[in-house]
Amino acid sequence: MTELGNLTAVQLIDRYRKGELSPVDAARAALDRIGRTDGKVNAFVRVDADEALRQAEESAGRWRRGEPAGLLDGVPVSVKDLLLQRGGPTLRGSTTVDPHGSWDEDAPSVARLREHGAVFLGKTTTPEFGWKGVTDSPLHGATGNPYDPARTAGGSSGGSAAAVALGAGPVSLGTDGGGSVRIPGAFCGIFALKPTYGRVPLYPASTLGTLSHVGPMTRDAADAALVLDAIGVPDPRDGSALPAAPGSFRAGLDDGVRGLRVAYSPSLGGQVAVHPEVAAAVRRAVEKLAELGAYVEETDPDFSDPVEAFHTLWCSGMARRIQHLGKEQRAALDPGLREISGRGARLSALDYLAAVDARLELARRMGRFHTTYDLLVTPTLPITAFEAGVEAPKGSGHRRWTGWTPFTYPFNLTQQPAATVPCGVDGAGLPIGVQLVAARHADGLVLRAAQALYMSGATDIPRPELT
């Protein structure tokens, strides 16, 4: 069971194909991990073991007949509880969502996983409506870090990151409106990709508008490429969805980074104070890219912190999200969500349009930047995981989660692909992430660079002891 829980999706599929392993064994191993660890970290809000085993039995039958349903047939997966999954309520971490109803529709990404034969383990924790960069909510409480449950897993896809790190399925679907797959990915030591906006269709539409992306959270870049092949296709319910990619994201994955032009920005031009252990680990990862043949230059993108524009878009989106709630329901909300939504409700249309102008200018600057550089490399976060149950580290001087995530939210404004890759641990054994960013539509380049780091051993970190 322990060994099976450590296998990637690619490794599972290979063993299914060779007849060395059954999807039922993989599902049981994942469910066993959940049973042994979830009481310590709170990664899941719902687990349906009987349904997962039923799906695994069906998958096993298809493999025996030599007729797998798709790219992920028999792979155990989980889904963040912001994305619709038919057969159960999507509560979004909120007591204000009515659990009763038909709940008979899958989100586009979930539907694609189902079509490709994935085995659904359950839904993962999120802060209320995904509003912040840590995972705790009035409904489900706090999610702990697999490396130290007293610390945060990050957010808002904290449950998904913890699940993957603990071996409770090699794949989870998360959402990212300001870093929400990359933040917990970095804190929990896994790979997480925010694809180009529109690459993975989203339905229902987010009240955060074009800030919100859906992305794979996986053990490594190869698994993410496999998942993106499955979910990165158009869906008629999303008018912003991109056309299908011209080829597989697995094609060229192992081509390496030789000749790529890499800009290394350790602190966004001195705008961010980065913990020394984080800075050192990220620098080592950059040096590895140079050893592998990339042309690395230490330089910074030409922008100042766009946090005010981000706050305008974020707070107004959250105000819209709770607009329909009555007085009693609003009183039951996370106090921080209530506060930022109040700020958003006070903004004017002109405030909103000024923020849109700021994001367009930022996108223009980054577009020009990527005519010179193929990749931008930064720390994913300037710190490692802090105490669970708080929005910002105590003593940091920050009130809101955006104060300690300055490397992530700018690239939601620009809609670029960005990923976090593990690159070491600090003195307390907590994971550190390096962020890879490319021009819009260059998702394959991010995956290729990440794969090079995985193949080189630069991503090797200890597994969490909870497993």
pLDDT tens column, 236-285: 999 999 999 999 999 999 999 999 999 999 999 999 999 999 999 999 99
- What H or E segment, with its residue span, contains residue 137? strand 136-137
For residues 16 and 241, what is the distance between their CA atoms, to the nearest angstrom?
32
Residue 214: CA count within 13 A, CB half-sphere? 33
DSSP lists the bridge partners of residue 297 as 263
pLDDT tens digit string along 408-424?
A: 999 999 999 999 999 99
Take residue 11 and report the two structure tokens written for it: 């490794």
Neighbours of 2 (CB within 10 A): 11
pTM over cut 0.95? yes
Determine the straight-line distance between the first and last CA of the chain, rounded to whole angstroms.
11
Active site residue 348: no
For residues 76 and 118, what is the distance between their CA atoms, to the nearest angstrom?
6
Distance of CA 407 to the CA centre of its chain: 14
Q: Which is the catalytic residue, given 94, 109, 172, 180?
A: 180
Which structural domains are found in the chain, ordered by start?
A: 2-456 (3.90.1300.10)
Burial of 138 (0-12, 13-18, 19+ CB in 10 A): middle
Q: What is the pLDDT of residue 3?
A: 83
Active site residue 180: yes
Residues of the chain falling short of pLDDT 50:
none
For residues 388 and 172, what is the distance between their CA atoms, to the nearest angstrom?
21
Where do the DSSP E strands lie in 285-368?
Answer: 295-298
The percent of the chain in helix, strand and coil, each rounded to the nearest 5, is: 40, 15, 45
Where do the DSSP E strands lie in 177-329?
Answer: 191-194, 213-218, 261-264, 295-298
Buried b (16+ CB within 10 A) or exposed e, 194-211: bbbbbbbbbbeebbbbbb
Q: Which is the catalytic residue, given 22, 59, 78, 80?
A: 80
Q: What is the pLDDT of residue 207?
A: 92
Q: What is the pLDDT of residue 101?
A: 84
Q: What is the pLDDT of residue 2?
A: 56
Buried b (16+ CB within 10 A) or exposed e, 303-341: beebbebbbbbbbbbbbbbbeebeeeeeeebbebbbebb
For residues 261 and 290, what is the distance between their CA atoms, to the nearest angstrom?
10
For residues 63 and 3, what is the distance between their CA atoms, to the nearest angstrom?
21
Task: Please report how the helices 23-41 and 9-18 are oriented relative to each other, as an axis angle in degrees rounded to 10.
Answer: 150
Distance of CA 443 to the CA centre of its chain: 14
For residues 90 and 83, what is the distance between their CA atoms, to the nearest angstrom?
7
Instruction: Provide the residue count of the chain.
Output: 467
Peptide bond into 78 cis (omega under 30): no
Q: Which is the catalytic residue, given 22, 109, 156, 172?
A: 156
Q: What is the pLDDT of residue 466?
A: 85
